[in-house]
Amino acid sequence: MITLGSLGILQPWVLLGLAALPAIWWLMRLTPPSPQRINFPPTRLLKDLQTTEETPAHSPWWLTLLRMLLAALIVLALSQPVLNPETDTAAGEGPLLLVVDNGWASASHWAERREAITAALDEAAREGKPVVLAPTAKGETLSEPDDAGRARERAAGLAPKPYAPDRAGLAEKLESQLGDRTDYSVLWLTDGIDYGASEAFAETLAGLAGGTGSLRILRPGREDAPLLLGRSTGDATALQAKVTSAAEGPRSGTVQALTARAEPLGEAAFRIPDGKREATVEFDLPLEIRNQIARLQIRAETSAGAVQLLDGRSQWHRVGIISGESREAAQPLLSPLYYVQRALSPYADVVTPREANVTLAVEDLIDQNVSTMVLADIGKLLPATQEDLEEWLGAGGVLIRFAGPRMEQGGDELLPVVLRRGGRSLGGSMSWSDPQPLAVFDDESPFRGLEIPDDVDVKRQVLADPTVATDSQVWARLADGTPLVTAARQGDGWVVLFHITANSDWSNLPLSGLFVQMLRRIVALAPTKVEIGDAGEASTVAAGAEDEAAAINQTALAPVQTLDGFGQLIPAPPEAAPIPAKEIDSVTPSPEHPPGFYGRDRATRALNIGRPNMRLAPMGDLSSAAGQTATIGGYTLRPPMALEKWLYLAALGLFVVDIIAMLILSGGMRWRGRLGGSSASRTGSGAAGAAVILLGIALVAGNPADAVAQAQFLQSPPSGNLPAQDEPSNQITADDITPEEMFGLESSLATHLAYVETGDPAIDETSRQGLAGLSRVLTARTALEPAEPIGVDIEKDDLAFFPVLYWPVEQDAAPLSDATLAKVDAYMKQGGMIVFDTKQENANARLRGSALERLIGKLDIPPLEPVPAEHVLTKAFYLMDSFPGRWDGGTLWVEAAPQTDAERAVRSQTDGVSSLVISSNDFASAWALDDQNRPLYPVVPGGEVQREMAFRAGVNIVMYALTGNYKADQVHVPALLERLGQ
């Protein structure tokens, strides 16, 4: 065989036939033309008859050239030319050693590699060389030297494996089994990636080639370099994956997102810049669609490395969080939900409700299909809210509750355990005990195996009542055995209670990484989506949540489905072994642990080739390791192509052309006159012009129906629908404003003191007169000039416009509805203050057992205490030690002062105002004045002096509600001491 560039001639001696082409030219030129026909009279024939000898004319030059080309094509076809011949594949005297990288990186261009293997075996067969087939994948066997035919059979069963090659292991086999010869013709088909031993492997192959053999190394080019899809990451808005190339860019492509049934959900393009080897792709999909993604794969890259399997850890849960503390009053680092949000934000879609009302907030989160809900320092839920949560829990939701001062009152029924009133303090000046560390988690706990930091301890907690039996589970304990985290089944869902706060008030657990891991384990118990209403779907999702929790506790994960070398999921092979659950993130894919899904159905973990921070190192320059005689080049991905049949077909085509030409020249085919081409051309041109005109009309007119409608409108525009030119524009009048809007305008344009309308005209009038009298005193003595007081319908009106709400409590007051209670609860938690006045002489205004308890007993009331001597309420404007009204002697109750340093910091830094003030002294009757500023009701027993003190108490209450605790600052201490004469 001889080669001419990319053309090879297998039978070059046949080309000698081209030397006969001149003789063929001379013979073909003698072919006479066809006789000429002339019409003449018979007499003319007799007259011009001559006996001269005629010489035939030469054939046309183009016909001779056509026949010469036909002969040349036949000669070339007989020489068996080949395009892109493989040369020097089996150069050398010894057997052909065919080394094939058949790891995951070779799968994308496996068809081309197979054709290269076939070409090498064909050449070895022609030269009669034995062949040794040596795949580099781990677990493959090294064949014995055999003829090319049997090697072809073994090569037919060769396929890429879903893991990296083991070149070092193959080098040991080659040296032990083939080391007795050094004349091998070595051909190494590489995948272009350096796995750490490329140079040493090339030296081994060079040693087997020796001085009489040869070594040829083929490596893919930049456009054909393997691509790896790295581990996916993401945030609440997007799913991200990293594409890594074994060669520098530019390189571009597309990553597809597929469901478990290979249904496409989205695509994202990537581009690796010039000089770089990595790019990031991002899928911006709704969370519900994003959680359906089971795999990502690079389009047109059919390899296991171009696939990224996603398991439950890649699916994001939507977590809703609600706090019992006012968001306006909360400092970020001390907020009850700050640490929860920071812990879950990298791993879940954390949403906060748009409503401050807890009842509406819960409904909002359920409508958003959250799978987990976190309630912090909400001690008591309204019955309607409990019913909504119970239905949501029955569908598989997970409710996480954190304790707090409000929960020290005993909590509600939606808890895993019954709580004792009060809390437990550990450490501090008033306690003999020390803060308690955490005990090791039980084997039945979902926190099993988590490492507990030594510095985590608990200083305060709420306690479960041991006398009440429940079906709860203890997931975490203190070192003394006290439950710290308890949980109970609620339908298909879970209710989990942390017996500490969600911030650092009671424990430093929220400051540790253990807190993040505990929350992630709990969130994993929930399905990715909870929908209420479809019982079948809810139960199915909840079962998946159980399996998700079971996956955490599995000691070994058995293979379920694995990837083959081409990236297709197949049943796990027999040699695939289980993986310890703790090692799933550190195992490298191998024959024993191929990439795929491990675990149980719907509770699986994905093992991928693309590991975190994994990079592909391109194979370096192997010239020094392979030796000077080695040949290193790129793949010839186009296989050798025999041109013989194509030349025969071309010769056959020329032969047909020659026959047609001879028929024309000999008169066997006659033109029957003109075919009317000009007319046809004109007709065609006219038709084309008409088509263009019609197309233009269509483009201009657009929709014919629209054009007709427009024409009709222009001819007769509609009447009666257009305003007259002199018609005045619309103006907003009082009739256009709804009563709710009018109430909002009147309430917000000026500061008003408000009172709750009870429905009793006498009581409501007394409340109005009392607040009117207090407003006049405020105008006369302070910078505040309140407008006329406003009566509020607690069932209908919005409370957000009023800083202070006076609420006279009737002894026969009926309980409020759940919707009203939710509105009142939101008002108090968002900064509003309510003054409850039971108006009972010589009565203790405690909440328990009173008419006030019947009215608002279902509210999430914080702990209460009598006004302390150092409370800001005693010095907000006047210095006071008692707060009389029409009566004197009743106790004024406010929200209890914080007991920890962190709680004090929150109250002092946020101008925390007590959300409620409870009195029995009948303030409104003492404040009530007529139009002449004369008192309307007597005060006992102190007379007008007591009335003055009542006014001062009212001024202090209003100033306290409006200005907060600024009087608690140390800057006021000298002035206060001077006023006190100290």
pLDDT value of residue 645: 84
Q: Which candidate, 457, 449, 549, places its Cα nearest to that of 511?
A: 457
Per-residue model confidence as pLDDT tens digits over 644-697: 888 888 888 888 888 888 777 766 555 444 433 433 333 333 333 333 333 333
Check residue 928 and report its DSSP letter. -
pLDDT value of residue 22: 74
Query: Which of 505, 527, 549 is the C-terminal boundary of a domain?
Result: 527
In this structure, the answer to whether residues 353 and 441 fall within a common structural domain is: yes
- Residue owning tokens 């090339």: 202
In a domain, 16, yes or no: no
E strand or H helix at 919, and its extent?
strand 916-919
In this structure, the answer to whether residues 309 and 376 fall within a common structural domain is: no
In this structure, the answer to whether residues 394 and 520 fall within a common structural domain is: yes
Could you tell me the CATH number of the domain that includes residue 919? 3.40.50.12140
Note down the domain range covering 422. 318-527
Inter-residue contact 205 to 215 (CB < 8 Å): yes
In this structure, the answer to whether residues 308 and 338 fall within a common structural domain is: no
835 φψ region: left (φ > 0), alpha (ψ -120 to 50), beta (else): beta
In this structure, the answer to whether residues 149 and 260 fall within a common structural domain is: no
pLDDT value of residue 457: 92
Per-residue model confidence as pLDDT tens digits over 391-444: 999 988 999 999 988 888 878 889 999 998 877 888 765 555 788 999 999 988
Strands 833-837, 864-866: parallel, antiparallel or unpaired by DSSP?
unpaired
pLDDT value of residue 690: 34
Inter-residue contact 407 to 502 (CB < 8 Å): no
In this structure, the answer to whether residues 183 and 256 fall within a common structural domain is: no
Strands 493-498, 483-490: parallel, antiparallel or unpaired by DSSP?
antiparallel
DSSP string, 48-113: H---PPP-PPPPPHHHHHHHHHHHHHHHHHHT-EEES---STT-SSS-EEEEE--SGGGSTTHHHH
Using alpha carbons, list the distances in angstroms from residue 629 to 100, 210, 340: 20, 10, 66
pLDDT value of residue 644: 80
pLDDT value of residue 681: 37
Distance in angstroms (rounded) separating the CA atoms of residues 665 and 661: 6
Q: Which candidate, 351, 414, 334, places its Cα nearest to that of 378?
A: 414
Up-side HSE of residue 212: CA atoms within 13 Å toward CB? 6
pLDDT value of residue 101: 92
User: Could you give the number of structural domains in the chain?
Assistant: 4
pLDDT value of residue 683: 35
In a domain, 628, yes or no: yes
In a domain, 783, yes or no: yes
Could you tell me the CATH number of the domain that includes residue 346? 3.40.50.880
E strand or H helix at 242, and its extent?
strand 239-245
In a domain, 545, yes or no: no
Handedness of CA 465, 467, 468, 474 (dihedral sign): positive
911 φψ region: left (φ > 0), alpha (ψ -120 to 50), beta (else): left
Strands 916-919, 833-837: parallel, antiparallel or unpaired by DSSP?
parallel
- Residue owning tokens 């004319």: 57
In this structure, the answer to whether residues 934 and 788 fall within a common structural domain is: yes
pLDDT < 50 positions in the chain: 53-56, 90, 327-330, 534-549, 637, 671-730, 902, 905-910
Task: Say what the alpha-carbon torsion angle 384, 387, 389, 393 is, to the nearest 10 degrees.
Answer: 180
Distance in angstroms (rounded) separating the CA atoms of residues 97 and 133: 6
Distance in angstroms (rounded) separating the CA atoms of residues 134 and 174: 9
In a domain, 491, yes or no: yes
Rg (CA), the chain: 46
Distance in angstroms (rounded) separating the CA atoms of residues 135 and 915: 77
E strand or H helix at 945, and its extent?
helix 943-963
In this structure, the answer to whether residues 407 and 454 fall within a common structural domain is: yes
Q: Which candidate, 559, 618, 616, 553, places its Cα nearest to that of 589?
A: 559
In this structure, the answer to whether residues 123 and 218 fall within a common structural domain is: yes
Could you tell me the CATH number of the domain that includes residue 159? 3.40.50.410
In a domain, 725, yes or no: no
In a domain, 206, yes or no: yes
In this structure, the answer to whether residues 598 and 622 fall within a common structural domain is: no
Helices 943-963, 761-781: axis angle to 10 degrees equals 80
In a domain, 535, yes or no: no
User: 160: helix, coil or strand?
Assistant: coil
In this structure, the answer to whether residues 805 and 946 fall within a common structural domain is: yes
In this structure, the answer to whether residues 519 and 583 fall within a common structural domain is: no
* Partners of 477 in beta bridges: 483
